Amino acid sequence: MTLAQSQPNTSALEFDCDTGNYHTFCPISCVAWLYQKIEDSFFLVIGTKTCGYFLQNAMGVMIFAEPRYAMAELEEGDISAQLNDYEELKRLCEGIKRDRNPSVIVWIGTCTTEIIKMDLEGLAPRLEAEIGIPIVVARANGLDYAFTQGEDTVLAAMAQRCPTSEEVTPAEKEERSSIQKLLSFGRKKDDPKKDEHSKDLSTDTAYHDHPPLVLFGSVPDPIVTQMTLELKRQGIKVSGWLPAKRYTELPVIDEGYYVAGINPFLSRTATTLMRRRKCKLIGAPFPIGPDGTRAWVEKICSVFNIEPQGLDEREAKIWESLEDYLQIIRGKSVYFMGDNLLEISLARFLTRCGMTVQEIGIPYMDKRYQAAELALLEKTCNDMGQPLPKITEKPDNYNQIQRIQELRPDLVITGMAHANPLEARGISTKWSVEFTFAQIHGFTNARDILELVTRPLRRNDSLKDLGWEKLVKEEAKV
């Protein structure tokens, strides 16, 4: 692996690996946010009723808004190969093309397609040529991955579809450059006066001379804007973002480009960008919390030899604005059961906020991709005088609940399967999935993270005199 900078040593942290009997979302859930992010896409999940049932229940009301995703539900004939995979998929995809006319169809491979060894990667190019719509294959299945890693598999597949600058005409380039568009804030092209103005906004004079930088990770558009502006303050230009708002706007990626991840669960995408697209990865902590954001910006600046401007004051000001929330959580303990891979970054931020982290459960720990984040966690613990927390990879929920009963943390960050039972036993919980669906990146959104973290504590504070904390009869068995 060729990282842009050498890796910090993170050996002092204690890593553990348990049985992997834990609760998390199936990685196919990534279609729920990716179809909204990539507006001209259609996601086809090739799986069984089990997959469909999960999606329709997990996504709740979104399913009723005529989403651009569907199940290709496998029947007994498909499993026993009485039906021809290619013909079946062709029939379905032609229907999708007719009804929705998307710019890309993303096939999500599932456990079943893995087990019956359906050659999606082999079928896709043939069908793509036949129906004239790009087909991207992502194997986001529960045999290999957890929850947010689904996005990683999709983006890794998309990374290979990003054009090189040779492949796009200058006119197309303009079209593709979604970040430029973002900086012109959706002004209509046919308005010449405003178009001129937008060019003014995005003139290169404000930027330092640095190699092209492409960011990866699917975040809501407001965060794209905020992070792009954040780097613009340092004179760093974001030439593209994987994924863009539309599949047709995937960024140009040439050999030698620099890339930086915005989320901790994107290790396959990072690997693909490095190995297949010959990019240089900027290994930085993730811009979650003001400390993380600052470290992220600093690291990008340092790679480009730019002296960061005004970050100290900016970070200090954010911390100041968080003081009311910090008072609530300072000195409190928190326990991450682990299910979405944001755990290290959140634990690092909460340690900086003055909390004691008792355990960090995490589905999968890529020590190389998260190296800088782990180093910052360690440094933060030292700075704050906190012991280094144990990081439990592939946790065992049963064992964790035994430990939680012993430790009685002030806050458990966990999935919905355990939240209500823990609350009934007088242990405050925060539903972990909310961190995936809330805007948590950058300086601007630090408050939103704490809004989530403090909510159970604030709720408990308003109910504290009622005397009904424990609502189960005996100390129930787990």
Partner 1 sequence: MKLAYWMYAGPAHIGTLRIASSFKNVHAIMHAPLGDDYFNVMRSMLERERDFTPVTASIVDRNVLARGSQEKVVENIVRKDQEERPDLIVLTPTCTSSILQEDLANFVQRASLEAKGDVLLADVNHYRVNELQAADRTLQQIVQFYTEKARKQGTLPQGKTEKPSVNIIGLTTLGFHNNHDCRELRTLMAQLGIEVNLVMPDGASVHDIQTMSRAWFNLVPYREVGGLTAEYLHTEFGMPCVNITPMGIVETARCIRAIQAVLNQQGAEVDYEGFIDEQTRFVSQAAWFSRSIDCQNLTGKRAVVFGDSTHAAAMTKILAREMGIKVVLAGTYCKYDADWFTEQVGDFCDEILVSEDNGAIADRIAQLEPAAIFGTQMERHVGKRLDIPCGVIAAPIHIQNFPVGYRPFLGYEGANQIVDLVYNSFTLGMEDHLLEFFGGHDTKEVLTATLSASDELGWSADGMAELQKIPGFVRGKVKRNTEKFAREQGIGQITAEVLYAAKEAVGA
φ and ψ of 181, to 5 deg: -65, -40
Q: Which of residues 390-409 bind partner 1 (CB under 8 A)?
A: 398, 401
The yes or no reply on residue 12 touching partner 1 (CB under 8 A) is no
The yes or no reply on residue 478 touching partner 1 (CB under 8 A) is yes
157 or 419, CB closer to partner 1?
A: 419
Q: Rounded to the nearest whole angstrom, what is the least distance from the CB of residue 139 to partner 1 in the complex?
A: 11
Q: Rounded to the nearest whole angstrom, what is the least distance from the CB of residue 370 to partner 1 in the complex?
A: 20
Q: x-or-dash pattern for partner 1, window 306-325, by CB under 8 A?
A: -----------xx--x----
Closest listed residue to residue 395, CA positions, set 432, 373, 364, 418: 364
The yes or no reply on residue 95 touching partner 1 (CB under 8 A) is yes
Q: x-or-dash pattern for partner 1, window 193-222, by CB under 8 A?
A: -x------x------------------xxx
Round to whole Å and give the CA distance between 202 and 187: 13
Q: Rounded to the nearest whole angstrom, what is the least distance from the CB of residue 277 to partner 1 in the complex?
A: 26
Which tokens hold the place of 361? 């459960």
From the CB of residue 74, how many other CB atoms can be counted at a distance below 10 Å?
Answer: 21
188 or 464, CB closer to partner 1?
A: 188
The yes or no reply on residue 114 touching partner 1 (CB under 8 A) is yes
Sign of CA dihedral 155, 156, 161, 167: positive
Round to whole Å and give the CA distance between 91 and 101: 14
Q: Which of residues 131-150 bind partner 1 (CB under 8 A)?
A: 141-147
**DSSP state letter for 441:** B
Select the span of 62-70, 124-132, 280-288, 298-306 touching partner 1 (CB under 8 A).
62-70
Question: With 0-12 CB in 10 A as exposed, 13-18 as middle and 19+ as buried, what is 432?
Answer: buried
- Give the largest CA-CA distance in the chain: 73
Q: Site for partner 1 (CB under 8 A): which residue of 1, 101, 185, 405?
A: 185
Q: Site for partner 1 (CB under 8 A): which residue of 1, 316, 417, 463?
A: 417
Closest listed residue to residue 433, CA positions, set 342, 365, 372, 345: 342
Buried b (16+ CB within 10 A) or exposed e, 252-262: bbbeebbbbbb
The yes or no reply on residue 89 touching partner 1 (CB under 8 A) is yes
The yes or no reply on residue 225 touching partner 1 (CB under 8 A) is yes
Q: Rounded to the nearest whole angstrom, what is the least distance from the CB of residue 144 to partner 1 in the complex?
A: 6
